[in-house]
A and B are shown apart, each in its own frame.
Chain A
């Protein structure tokens, strides 16, 4: 027996490395995005590398768009080009500062409107398997008060929820992730439905809206406040491509998120408060 094991040791090890993780995955009861102690340690170790790479690539883009790219556009007159380049470079930098200022002011204004503790956090990385899941990584974590299940927003509306946290990072499952489901109501008729992610960055689908429910294309969906994750009344998306077939119990519709999830730079995380610890729904918008 031992000799057989020894003889086929390599084959057995390789087969075990294939089969065991698959069996554990299929039998597993872990929440999508949930991370164990070892996983969190790995992410914490690599978080500075990610922040560094993000900073370098982002900075290189700034230099390119504010300086190098402009050089290529001005070949006719050297003097004019130099002068123009200098001015355009300055303007570009001021515009970038202005845009950043505007974004941050909107975030601050939004924070003031929320009756809860909130943390503004930069987006430092994206999930590497967009065909399988939709997530982002934030550059702030538990030492800033962020915890799993915290809702993540922008001034426009809902982005997703925190699923894993380290001391200096947090993973956010976007509302378009196939595992995401958010209870909503329409702002017009208060029709209840669930918005489930499709894996596509710009679209989710509407679930559990019965055929008789009052739904129209263009309806704004806001969070219903049930489910214990998101505060009530946050904009989530608009109903499009409404399909009411002559059979079946439910209507089908596509939901286009109000937030452009492909261009996230900073987000707001609503952190836990006393009411959350008591298991109540989080604060509402003023």
Chain B
């Protein structure tokens, strides 16, 4: 659709692939980093609605395809997190590292919670397993809050490089 959508979608997939290999090489079995969350938050603050939602859907797709989770699980919640982050960023100024980290924590937690809820509703996860998974989600969200800041900064830098494409995409949408 636009160059930015392609670049950020590709970036999200690359980050998730890299994360998967990094965790494997380090033997980090208990944490996920959700590197691509930084991309999702950036498009929530910068991109147009359709463009951002499409990138968010790609982020969710990447999480599914590289995690071994059932396909389709993460896409809807990822777009949901995009919508929440977008509404929040329009209400308050999201600029500094701390705000991004908090947004990252909340985003990762809500996304994971929505996925757990979907697994629970679909019967893929029994009641016994819900609470341990919820505890795991806390550590996952904390890790995501730490790594989301540099990823967000990198994506913002990339967004500036692609700045000239903004007019093109906005023209397409209007």
Contacts and interface: CB of A to CB of B under 8 A. Distances in A.
Interface in B14-40: 14, 16-34
A113 interface: no
B83 interface: yes
Contacts of A177: 68
Contacts of B72: 21-22, 24-25, 28
A286 interface: no
Contact of A173 (B13, B60, B68): B68
A54 to B, nearest CB: 4
Interface SS, B side: helix
Contacts of B167: none
B151 interface: no
Nearest to A36: B71
A133 B29 CA distance: 11
Interface stretch (A10-18, A67-75, A234-242, A271-279): A10-18
Interface in A50-68: 50-54, 57-58, 61
Contacts of B30: 130, 201, 262
A136 B79 CA distance: 26
Contacts of A30: 70-71
Nearest to B28: A126
Interface centre among A10, A51, A52, A129 (most CB of B within 10 A): A129
Interface residues of B, number: 65
A46 interface: yes
Given A49-B18, A126-B28, A21 B76 contact: yes
Interface centre among B63, B70, B132 (most CB of A within 10 A): B70
B13 A32 contact: no
Given A57-B25, A173-B68, A18 B20 contact: no
Given A13-B53, A179-B124, A199-B132, A132 B24 contact: no
Contact of A46 (B17, B60, B68, B71): B17
A140 interface: no
Contacts of B119: 132, 178
B70 A28 contact: yes
Contacts of A13: 49-50, 53
A124 interface: yes
A205 B21 contact: no
Interface centre among A126, A163, A171 (most CB of B within 10 A): A126
Nearest to B70: A32
A19 interface: yes
B50 A10 contact: yes
Given A32-B68, A126-B20, A127-B69, A18 B63 contact: no
14 contacts: A13-B49, A13-B53, A18-B76, A21-B76, A33-B68, A42-B65, A49-B21, A50-B20, A127-B67, A129-B63, A129-B74, A132-B115, A135-B67, A136-B24
